[in-house]
Amino acid sequence: MAMDLDVALERLTEFEIYRNKFAEAFPEDENPINADNLAYSIAAFERTLNTPNSPFDRYLSGDENAISEQAKDGMVAFVDNGCIACHRGPALTDSQFHAIQVPGSKDLGRYTVTGEESDKYRFRTPTLRNVAVTYPYMNNGATETLEEAVAVMGKEMLGREFEEQTINDITAFLNTLTGEMPEFEIPALP
C-alpha cells in the first residue's frame, strides 16, 4: 500500500496480537515479524479469500434450479458469442493479456511494464467471479454498469453490436457468479 516495508514491519511489531500470532506461526525465528514472514502471511491470508457456492457453482454441481432460465440463456450466449475464448476455466479468465482500448482510456497497459511495442494497450483478462459486485469496470473504471461492460466487450473484443435482450441475458448469467464472501475480524489499532 505504498508504505515503506521497514515502517510497516515496525508498525506490525506494535500490535500485541501480531507479535503473538507471528511467534506462533514462525516458532523457529528469533524475530518472527520480518519481511519474508510478512510475505508468507499475506500470501496465506490471500489463499483464504475464496468466494465459493455461487448460484453458478451450485448449478454446475447439479442443482438445475440454482440459476434462472434467463441466466441459462445468457450462459449459452456467453459461450456462443465467444466470451469464453478469454473468460474460461474456474476463474473465468485465461490469465493472458489482450489488446483493448476501452472508451476514454489512455492507459498503455502491459507496455508500461515491459516496454515492448506489441504490449501496447494489452490488459490481463480479469476474473468474472463476483463481477456483479465489483463495479465500476475496465482498466479506467469508466464503465459503470454490467450491461454497459457486456456491450463494450461485444463491440471491442468481438466486433458485435448486441441486441438488448442478449445484453440482459448475459448480464443475468454474470449475476450468478457472486459467491459467499469470507468473514474475518480486523484487529483494533493499539
Binding residues for ligand HEC, per CB under 6 A?
78, 81-83, 85-87, 98, 100, 102, 123, 125-126, 128, 131, 134, 137-139, 149-150, 153-154, 157-158, 170
The residue among 34 and 156 lying less far from ligand HEC, judged by its C-beta, is 156
The residue among 20 and 145 lying less far from ligand HEC, judged by its C-beta, is 145
How far apart CA 77 and CA 70 sit, in angstroms, is: 10
For residue 2, the minimal CB distance to ligand HEC (Å) is: 22
For residue 101, the minimal CB distance to ligand HEC (Å) is: 8
The residue among 26 and 59 lying less far from ligand HEC, judged by its C-beta, is 59
For residue 11, the minimal CB distance to ligand HEC (Å) is: 31
Contact 146, 171 (CB under 8 A): yes
How far apart CA 156 and CA 82 sit, in angstroms, is: 13
The residue among 71 and 128 lying less far from ligand HEC, judged by its C-beta, is 128
Residue 83 CB partners (closer than 8 Å, separation 6+) = 153, 157, 158, 170
Residue nearest to ligand HEC (CB): 83
For residue 111, the minimal CB distance to ligand HEC (Å) is: 14
The residue among 51 and 126 lying less far from ligand HEC, judged by its C-beta, is 126
How far apart CA 17 and CA 187 sit, in angstroms, is: 8
How far apart CA 15 and CA 21 sit, in angstroms, is: 10
Contact 37, 29 (CB under 8 A): yes
Cα–Cα–Cα angle for 75, 79, 80, rounded to 5 degrees: 115
